Structure 1
Amino acid sequence: MSYTEEVYERVVAQNPGEPEFHQAVKEVLDSLKVVIDKNEEEYRRLSILERLVEPERIISFRVPWVDDSGKVQVNKGYRVQFNSAIGPYKGGLRFHPSVNQSILKFLGFEQIFKNSLTGLPIGGGKGGSNFDPKGKSDREVMAFCQSFMTELCKYIGADTDVPAGDIGVGGREIGYLYGQYKRIRDLSEGVLTGKGLTYGGSLVRTQATGYGVVYILDELMKAHNDELSGKTVIVTGSGNVAIYAAEKATQLGAKVVAMCDSNGYIHDSEGIKLDIVKDIKEVKRGRIREYADRVEGASFTEGVGIWNIKCDVYLPCATQNELGLDAVKTLIANGCKYIVEGANMPTTLDATEYAMENGVLFLPGKASNAGGVATSALEMSQNSMRLSWSAEEVDEKLHGIMKDIYKKIDDAAQRYDMKDNFVVGANIAGFEKVVDAMKAQGIV
């Protein structure tokens, strides 16, 4: 049995009931096998993989808070500090009923390689709670966030661990979390990213993940003598990442014809009108079905199935494992040539393999959605220097980082004779930097 197979079996045995974490580890270890085999003796001696798959620290805690009826509610809170070899832990907080330790470990593990690919000095971490902000009043959200941060603040700091937002954690939640951190620790520091512009936030941070997805897509298409202009695009989701991926794709001449949320999907053959989507989702916190009521000729379909709409480019920007094998087969049959992940692990392993085996150019989320965390790291830099850059400066840096990520993953794939296998390329390029730092720092 190979070293990677041994470590994977150990992960499954020692982490029962954590399928998302198992899936993330398997995907990475399978693609690292070509690198590990060349250095197996040294990596075994140093237990590199055993150390890589085990979080440095997991913090789990209860979060009691009082709802508007005066009843005490209790949620679970977590922070997974996975790997700090190349810098302080960095990764979002997710507030969603589905949050559990398995999901946060998978996200934190992915974050190690994603953060490495940015070229910036940030390690991998993730956190969150099974609290659901949907339907809660601002006061209830504030009460929860303050209780959550009262415990979390003991374990984070500008040079230790810098959380950001994720699903369910936007500007409102970051504001409440930061206010409580500052109140307890008496520190005004860049301990959170995604902050408001009046208290240390960065311009372009809101748009960064979605813009980054399209910037790296653009690099991929150019490298294959193609262009985004004139292409038909589907973007799944209708949150932050999806909205700004659609916005940048539209700016570059594509037509985005479909988006969705957890209730169903909209189709507008004339091209999605993003000002209306933003009003529904960002202003009113409503459901995507409202788009069809407001735009003549648009339709809403309840449930899943957005992949049945014909497209050239498919950008899954909603959540993990949203795109399965049958859906990918349908996309390919309808002429889809590019799948670029905007969410974390939105495509199942069998669907990913099928897509790449059948001519689809596929970019994995750890490379293609790295623009958000990269811009968070730029926010950290601005906070440390007590200054702020213009939107143009930040966008230029973001664009440069995404170009560089494409170059790194393409180079890594070609070095191991796997041209256009960007899953392998991303994992190898991310791993090489982390493992060098781990070896240099001794057994820690």
Structure 2
Amino acid sequence: MSNLPSEPEFEQAYKELASTLENSTLFEKNPEFKKALQVAAIPERVIQFRVTWENDKGEVQVNRGFRVQFNSALGPYKGGLRFHPTVNLSVLKFLGFEQIFKNALTGLSMGGGKGGADFDPKGKSDNEIRKFCVSFMRELNKHIGADTDVPAGDIGVSPREIGWMFGAYRAEKNKWEGVLTGKGGTWGGSLIRPEATGYGVVYYVQHMINYASGGKESFKGKRVAISGSGNVAQYAALKAIELGATIISLSDSKGALIATDEKGITPDLVNVIAELKVKRKQLTELAESSEYKQKFKYIDGARPWVHCDKVDVALPCATQNEVSGEEAQKLIELGAKYIAEGSNMGCTQEAIDTFEKVRKEKKGEAIWYAPGKAANAGGVAVSGLEMAQNSQRLKWTSEEVDDKLKGIMKNCFENCLSTAKEYVPPAEGELPSLVAGGNIAGFSKVAAAMRDQGDWW
């Protein structure tokens, strides 16, 4: 890693994985896997291109487009496209690297990749965004395909943008294939896909609660703090409410919404927030509404963690590094027992270290952290199910997809749990490390496939 240019996000993701592997018995039992880590840290291919498009004033604009095709040992490259001004190679390499092992944990045949552009959809007209999507796909179509690379949506790329890009791909290639996931429900998309990441996080935490409590507890009665207010946060909130929890926070880039009413944030309010986000508006709109002022407090420029009264479950669902070491300590003081990332790398390394330290010290009390590569794998899992439906020209019901999602998240949790017990045996009375379990299980599967295919020996 020392000869790489400075790529802070990617370096953080790499070090987090590498330190876990080195502090386990994995390399002792499989010394050849050290070489696999060195090989896997370098993408198979990085594609960078310019995207020129015309705004509504007739002025030509230019942005940078990217696709990091990181690892295809387990299947076609799979990972989202992000349109956001912060997009750069470091961010996409971090996301693509995490995606490799997340996809491996689903048990489906998917490699890892990520892409996007430094294009900012905010403040752009629908016509400008459509023009950008068409121009972006004019170049990207040369590098993707149903058996090569299957992108999905991410920040700034909703089903609407997927539709415009799919239409551009179909026109360019003159063929219909499942080259993008997150498509419209009437033309190749899977039911439950918008809900999948949020639902999956909650299903994963269900297993954490059940295991740690010996089957005595569930989401019922739990106070759940959530950050973010996009798809992941919305559907995590709705599923947790369905299971009996009280949602005490949501947030966006401008500030945090903290419930003051004992009922918490209700499904009706989540739906209102969803409508705001479709219109690309901020939570400040609610803060100024007299209808909601008595039910919550809005804290400008803040994340929710330190502003809640009592927390049982914390679900960071916004973006990377949104829980600091200090905020992690505060969450523990507020009573948080279960922390699971709905976002990718939602916790800083300092936060992870804090959660892991307390997990070891408080053996008789559950303080359990689940990394995003395991906890939020539900989204890409249903993307994989969408690929399967496209290949078979079938459409499964919501119940069928949801049942498959529940099974995938259950298997993912059990895989992380058993792998942690094998390679980082917990002390008596100590909960196994789901961080170690997720990292080792995902990496081992990819490393073995690379070895079998001659990528290293």
CA distance in 1, matches of 2:404, 2:69: 27
Q: Which residue number corresponds to residue 420 of structure 1?
A: 432
Q: Which residue number corresponds to residue 20 of structure 2?
A: 31
Task: Give TM-score scaled by structure 2 length.
Answer: 0.92
Q: Which residue number corresponds to residue 364 of structure 2?
A: none
The partner residue of 1:67 within 34, 55, 58 is: 55
Q: CA deviation at 1:134?
A: 1.4
Contact 1:232 1:312 (C-alpha < 8 Å) held by counterparts: yes
Partner of 1:199: helix, strand, or coil? Answer: coil
Q: Which residue number corresponds to residue 400 of structure 2?
A: 393
Q: CA deviation at 1:279?
A: 3.2
CA RMSD of superposed structures (Å) = 1.3
Aligned letter for 1:281? A
- Identity, in percent, stands at 53
Once superposed, which parts of structure 1, at least 4 consecutive aligned residues long, lie more than 2 Å away?
34-37, 39-44, 273-285, 289-292
Contact 1:91 1:125 (C-alpha < 8 Å) held by counterparts: yes
Aligned letter for 1:267? I
Aligned letter for 2:245? A
CA distance in 1, matches of 2:317, 2:280: 18
Aligned letter for 1:93? L
Q: CA deviation at 1:432?
A: 1.4
Contact 1:291 1:298 (C-alpha < 8 Å) held by counterparts: no
The partner residue of 2:102 within 91, 108, 114 is: 114
Q: Say whether 1:232 aligns with 2:244.
A: no
CA distance in 2, matches of 1:325, 1:41: 33
Q: Say whether 1:335 aligns with 2:335.
A: yes
Aligned letter for 1:278? N
Q: CA deviation at 1:290?
A: 2.4
Contact 1:92 1:166 (C-alpha < 8 Å) held by counterparts: yes
Q: Say whether 1:291 aligns with 2:286.
A: yes
Q: Say whether 1:430 aligns with 2:446.
A: no
Contact 1:210 1:242 (C-alpha < 8 Å) held by counterparts: yes
Aligned letter for 1:32? L
Contact 2:45 2:70 (C-alpha < 8 Å) held by counterparts: yes
Contact 1:96 1:167 (C-alpha < 8 Å) held by counterparts: yes
Q: CA deviation at 1:286?
A: 1.6
CA distance in 2, matches of 1:331, 1:81: 37
Q: Which residue number corresponds to residue 195 of structure 2?
A: 207
Q: How many residues align?
A: 431
Aligned letter for 1:411? S
Q: CA deviation at 1:354?
A: 0.6
Q: Which residue number corresponds to residue 174 of structure 2?
A: 186
Q: Say whether 1:315 aligns with 2:315.
A: yes
Q: CA deviation at 1:36?
A: 4.4
- The 5 Å alignment of 1:72-151 reads 72-151=60-139
Q: CA deviation at 1:35?
A: 4.3
- The 5 Å alignment of 1:359-378 reads 359=359, 360-378=367-385
Once the two structures are superposed, residues 389-438 of structure 1 have per-residue CA deviations (whole angstroms, 9 ceiling, x without a partner) of 00000000000100000000000011120442100000111111111111
Q: Which residue number corresponds to residue 6 of structure 2?
A: 17
Once the two structures are superposed, residues 2-33 of structure 1 have per-residue CA deviations (whole angstroms, 9 ceiling, x without a partner) of xxxxxxxxx1x232220000000000011112
Contact 1:91 1:164 (C-alpha < 8 Å) held by counterparts: yes
Q: CA deviation at 1:276?
A: 3.2
Deviates more, 1:25-34 or 1:393-402: 25-34
Q: CA deviation at 1:99?
A: 0.5
